[in-house]
Amino acid sequence: MDPILSRRDVRKYLKKSVPKEDIMQLLKAAMAAPSAEDERPWHFIVIDDDKTKNQISKTHSTFYIVAQSPSIIVVCGDEGLQKVHGFWVQDCSAATENAIIEAQYLGLGAVWLGIYPIKGRIQTIRQLLNIPTNIIPFSLLTIGYPAENKTLINYFDMSRVHFGNW
């Protein structure tokens, strides 16, 4: 099935580690994303050690999934690599979504946990992962083999479509 239309967030994972080749494939997909002026202002932190995941999981109520997720990827933006001010957010969003779609394609599950623009989340994640001040932690992806099967929802909404003009 189309990995885009069959995707739902997966919040329960099997206790099975994700092969490094698959993580590399997700990173390849992320870095294949389009970016403004081809600036590619991203960095990725891959984490699978339990101590760090446990620490991150305690930083926000919905981040509990991090402790149960075999691997996580933190997507970061580097404003210094931008050619057009402000576009790093769209660039990092495209990279995050590409990785999620690739995860679905590989039979993995993922959840996008937002970090940017919430100041408290940015600060705690930066501190825990020693992220330099010029780099902004943007999103966190939990990755693992699904231990739940969610119902598919058709989100298509014709009332949001406008032809010709508004």
Ligand X SMILES: Cc1cc2nc3c(=O)[nH]c(=O)nc-3n(C[C@H](O)[C@H](O)[C@H](O)COP(=O)(O)O)c2cc1C
- We find the least distance from the C-beta atom of residue 146 to ligand X, in angstroms, to be 12
Minimum CB distance to ligand X, residue 96 (Å) = 8
Q: Is residue 55 left, alpha or beta, with left meaning phi > 0 and alpha meaning psi from -120 to 50?
A: alpha
Minimum distance from CB of 20 to ligand X (Å)? 25
Question: Hey, what are 42's tokens?
Answer: 């991203």
Nearer to ligand X, 81 or 89 (CB): 89
DSSP 91: H
CB closer to ligand X, 10 vs 23 = 10
Contact set with ligand X (CB under 6 A): 8-9, 62, 111-114
Specify the residue for token string 């010709």.
164
Q: Determine the Cα–Cα distance for residues 40 and 38; give it in Å rounded to an integer.
A: 6
SS3 call for 62: helix
